[in-house]
């Protein structure tokens, strides 16, 4: 009986006055992030699978730590800025939101510049064509760099949209959805730093 | 507002103009669904023709109808076409057409993405088949094992077509899967809580989740392959620390879930139509739903059973062997639910039900040989023999093609407004069923006799001639059966008896609208109060205040994901050319990559980004007429 009463409530519920849906784009973005995350899982699987039968992994010198940690700081800062901007946007302060979005994109661009500097140095130690480790190192970090580039373009696009908040046609919450993607890129870099940069040093220092 | 002005107004809002522009710009899920179905059937015919050529070559010992290289290309393209461009897209076609109607929504959640999925599916299929124009079709098997497929042993464009076309196709498949998930969890009719969803939703959702989780492994594998082949990387190069088995792990981590991706929605369709013909609700709805989800979940963890013969530790083989056998428990739950439904019901024997019952029979045989191959020692005995070919065809044809034909006979009257011819349908079913068993059952035996897969001919001294001739004859009979149905679909869609809204007295919402449904599908958005809306006493369309007409634009209702309470009004996009343009840009990107014109590819990527920017840019509203 209770179930039926609840049904009556649902089926007779007021439709007039309902807000416009803003969730479909967000759910789709979340699923897109999930499938992208599985892309990195497959890359890490390859990384660890190939390490299994090797006396040492990386097969050459492990990558240096300073630069990736600086890059991590840049990305973490950018996520903070973007989150602040998203809240400004939600509170209706569009100018601040747009400014924060552009600043985030600039920090992302800075990350890419730092990565190219790091590559320039590390390419002297190992190239993608040197061995399987080199192939994986550059593929994993290169995939991530491509994602950062895509994120930067996405943020710049959002910053110049005529409207940031929910509107009456899709895209519904451009800033919110793009920021989800940006935080994902940020999180992916944390995992990369931990597994590809820190772990080999830790393994070599502990007998 | 009276009914006819409402429907006029809704038609004006939802109908795509019948112009050249409309043909390419439409985002109507019904049009897209039909295009998916027709295109997938074209690929079925292509893959079938390839199979016929293969069987003619093998019908007798020492034949030279096809040379070894042509044979390799044809058997590879047969597998690739059937698995990637027929088996999954045909289910997407049914899903696209039926899901919104079953859920009581007016379109998919992301209609433009839906159009993009279709165009990308079509163009990637055209792309891979263009390889035939220069006789450099993929020739390394649909599994493309390294090192056969690296630059040293396969120098031509063959495997580049393979790798690039698959990366291209995964874009379409992933976009489609995300769309299905958002639709199922956001656009169900008010009252259609999770425990009242039609079972097809469970299988489609499970499949879509598998696609989202497993497909990236294929993308990564194909990217690795291309980098190895053309840029001197060493992923699969043992001499430089790579591993040929890495390919197999990545490929089967995707590949085994893919088996469920092309199988679960088919079982979902059977779970929809079989109870209707048994004239009772399905037995064990909850168990079937649970078994569906669990098949997907456990199916993520059995990929190594394709690799028992490569040399691995006893422990890992035992784990994967056990997991593979566990899956058969969940499949058995579904089979027994169908059998019990038939047993407890009063079956009305139609062509559609015949195909469904034929599926159960073939699936049991394919499932049993599956349990046999899950046993490690037995697998070692029959690996790379025709026994495996028999097993996989029993599973794929039995559990995909037969349910798909059952679904065509069941839902085509909804899509075309005409009933299919039953007599032709019966002929087709018996030709297919007898031909299939005549053709594929002897493969078990030649396999046990030791005939290997993927050989283009064999000497007469092996004594396989008679069996192989039987296989070829069976396959031809089967092909005739398929053609009878295809002709039946074509003719009946034009000249069949009018179907009316609900020819089968079925229970789900798609049968409450006209056949074919109007562009806006529902004049008033329905509400639901049980698993069988059209069998209970609830009036889905009772709406005295006219609140659920929503004729102020392209609108439908969004509801909460679990108990389906109305929470928002979902605004749907207008027709647009952007999805097609983006697909074309992607085609240009992959063609440039194939020709190793990297700058050109980068240029087309930028073009694609510009199109995407245009796609997402907000535009002025079209005023409701």
B619 touches chain A (CB under 8 A): yes
Give the closest-approach CA distance of A9 to chain B in angstroms.
9
Per the prediction, chain B carries an average pLDDT of: 94
Q: Which of A14, A18, A22, A151 to mutate to test the interface with B (most CBs of B within 10 A)?
A: A18
Give the closest-approach CA distance of B300 to chain A in angstroms.
13
For residue A59, pLDDT over 90 is answered with: no
Q: Which of A163-177, B50-64, B509-523 has the lowest mean pLDDT?
A: A163-177
pLDDT digits (tens, 9 = 90+) for B65-115: 999 999 999 999 999 999 999 999 999 999 999 999 999 999 999 999 999
Give the closest-approach CA distance of A148 to chain B in angstroms.
15
Q: Which of A51-60, B22-31, B112-121, B175-184 has the lowest mean pLDDT?
A: A51-60
Classify residue A20 by its DSSP letter. Answer: B
Residue A146, sorted as left (phi over 0), alpha (psi -120 to 50) or beta, turns out to be alpha
DSSP characters over B140-205: STTTT-TTTTSTTT--SSHHHHHHHHHHHHHHHHHHHHHHHHHHHHH-PPTT--GGGS-HHHHHHH
Rounded to an integer, the average pLDDT of B199-219 is 97
Model pLDDT, residue B623: 43
Q: Is the pTM of this model over 0.90?
A: yes
Largest alpha-carbon pair distance within chain A?
75
Interface contact B212-A23, CB threshold 8 A: no
Interface contact B213-A35, CB threshold 8 A: yes
- Contact present, B14 and B519 (Cβ < 8 Å): yes
Q: How far apart are CA A194 and CA A190, in angstroms?
A: 6
DSSP characters over B294-308: HHHHHHTT-GGGG-G
Q: Which of B213, B554, B571, B579 to mutate to test the interface with A (most CBs of A within 10 A)?
A: B571
| Cβ within 8 Å of A, B 241-300 | 241-243, 246, 249-250, 253
Interface contact B242-A132, CB threshold 8 A: yes
For residue A1, pLDDT over 60 is answered with: no
Classify residue A105 by its DSSP letter. Answer: H
For residue A5, pLDDT over 70 is answered with: no
pLDDT digits (tens, 9 = 90+) for B248-283: 999 999 999 999 999 999 999 999 999 999 999 999
Q: How far apart are CA B457 and CA B352, in angstroms?
A: 38
Closest alpha carbon within chain B to A54: B241
| Assigned token pair, B287 | 């168990």
Interface contact B568-A136, CB threshold 8 A: no
pLDDT digits (tens, 9 = 90+) for B21-66: 999 999 999 999 999 999 999 999 999 999 999 999 999 999 999 9
């Amino acid at each position: 009986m209770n179930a039926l009463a609840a049904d009556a409530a649902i089926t007779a519920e007021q439709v007039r006055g309902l807000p416009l849906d803003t969730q479909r784009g967000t759910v789709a973005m979340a699923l897109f992030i999930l499938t992208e995350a599985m892309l990195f899982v497959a890359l890490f699987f390859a990384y660890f699978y190939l390490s299994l039968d090797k006396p040492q992994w990386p097969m050459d010198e492990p990558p240096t730590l300073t630069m990736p940690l600086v890059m991590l700081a840049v990305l973490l800062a950018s996520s903070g800025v973007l989150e602040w901007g998203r809240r400004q946007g939600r509170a209706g302060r569009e100018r601040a939101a747009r400014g924060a979005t552009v600043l985030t994109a600039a920090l992302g661009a800075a990350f890419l510049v730092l990565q190219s500097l790091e590559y320039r140095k590390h390419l002297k130690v190992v190239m993608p064509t040197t061995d399987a480790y080199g192939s994986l190192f550059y593929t994993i970090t290169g995939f991530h760099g491509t994602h950062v580039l895509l994120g930067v373009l996405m943020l710049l696009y959002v910053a110049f949209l005529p409207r940031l908040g929910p509107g009456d046609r899709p895209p519904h919450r451009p800033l919110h959805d793009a920021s989800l993607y940006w935080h994902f890129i940020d999180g992916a870099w944390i995992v990369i730093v931990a597994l590809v940069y820190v772990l080999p040093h830790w393994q070599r220092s502990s007998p | 507002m009276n009914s006819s002005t409402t429907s006029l107004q809704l038609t004006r809002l939802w109908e795509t103009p019948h112009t050249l522009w409309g043909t390419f710009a439409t985002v109507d899920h019904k049009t897209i669904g039909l295009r998916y179905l027709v295109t997938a059937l074209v690929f079925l015919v292509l893959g079938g023709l390839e199979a016929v050529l293969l069987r003619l070559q093998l019908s007798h010992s020492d034949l030279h109808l096809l040379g070894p290289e042509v044979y390799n290309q044809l058997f590879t393209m047969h597998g690739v076409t059937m698995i990637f461009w027929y088996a999954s897209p045909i289910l997407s076609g049914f899903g696209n057409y039926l899901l919104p109607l079953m859920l009581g929504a007016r379109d998919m959640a992301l209609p433009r993405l839906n159009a993009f999925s279709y165009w990308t599916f079509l163009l990637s299929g055209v792309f891979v088949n263009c390889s035939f124009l220069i006789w450099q079709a993929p020739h390394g098997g649909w599994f493309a094992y390294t090192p056969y497929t690296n630059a040293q042993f396969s120098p031509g464009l063959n495997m580049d077509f393979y790798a690039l076309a698959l990366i291209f196709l995964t874009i379409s498949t992933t976009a489609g899967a995300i769309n299905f998930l958002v639709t199922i969890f956001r656009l169900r009719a008010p009252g259609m809580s999770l425990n009242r969803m039609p079972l097809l939703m469970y299988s489609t959702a499970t499949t879509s989740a598998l696609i989202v989780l497993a497909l990236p492994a294929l993308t990564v594998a194909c990217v690795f392959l291309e980098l190895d082949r053309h840029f001197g990387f060493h992923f699969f190069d043992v001499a430089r620390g790579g591993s040929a088995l890495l390919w197999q792990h990545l490929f089967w981590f995707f590949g085994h879930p893919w088996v469920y991706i092309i199988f679960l929605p088919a079982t979902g369709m059977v779970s929809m139509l079989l109870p209707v013909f048994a004239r009772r609700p399905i037995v064990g709805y909850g168990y079937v739903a649970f078994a569906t989800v669990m098949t997907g979940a456990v199916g993520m963890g059995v990929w190594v059973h394709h690799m028992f013969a490569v040399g691995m530790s006893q422990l890992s083989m035992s784990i994967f062997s056990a997991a593979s056998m566990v899956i058969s428990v969940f499949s058995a739950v579904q089979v027994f639910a169908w059998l019990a439904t038939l047993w407890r019901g009063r079956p009305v024997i139609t062509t559609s039900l015949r195909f469904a019952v034929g599926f159960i029979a073939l699936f049991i045989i394919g499932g049993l040989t599956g349990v046999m191959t899950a046993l490690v020692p037995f697998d070692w005995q029959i690996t790379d023999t025709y026994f495996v070919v028999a097993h996989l065809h029993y599973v794929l044809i039995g559990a995909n093609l037969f349910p798909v034909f059952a679904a065509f006979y069941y839902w085509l009257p909804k899509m075309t407004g005409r009933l299919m011819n039953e007599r032709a349908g019966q002929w087709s079913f018996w030709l297919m069923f007898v031909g299939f068993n005549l053709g594929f059952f002897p493969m078990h035996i030649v396999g046990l006799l030791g005939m290997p897969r993927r050989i283009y001919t064999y000497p007469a001294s092996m004594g396989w001639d008679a069996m192989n001739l039987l296989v070829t004859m069976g396959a031809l009979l089967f092909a005739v059966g398929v053609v009878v149905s295809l002709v039946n679909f074509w003719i009946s869609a034009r000249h069949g008896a009018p179907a009316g809204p609900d020819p089968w007295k079925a229970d789900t919402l798609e049968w409450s609208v006209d056949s074919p449904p109007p562009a806006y599908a529902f004049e008033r958005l329905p509400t639901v109060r049980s698993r069988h809306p059209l069998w209970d006493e609830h009036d889905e369309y009772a709406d005295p205040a006219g609140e659920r007409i929503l004729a102020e634009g392209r609108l439908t209702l969004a509801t909460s994901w679990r108990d389906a309470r109305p929470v928002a009004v979902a605004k749907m996009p207008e027709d647009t050319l952007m999805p097609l343009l983006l697909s074309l840009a992607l085609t240009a990107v992959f063609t440039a990559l194939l020709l190793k014109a990297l700058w050109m590819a980068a240029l087309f990527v930028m073009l694609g980004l510009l199109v995407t920017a245009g796609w997402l840019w907000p535009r002025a509203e079209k005023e409701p007429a």
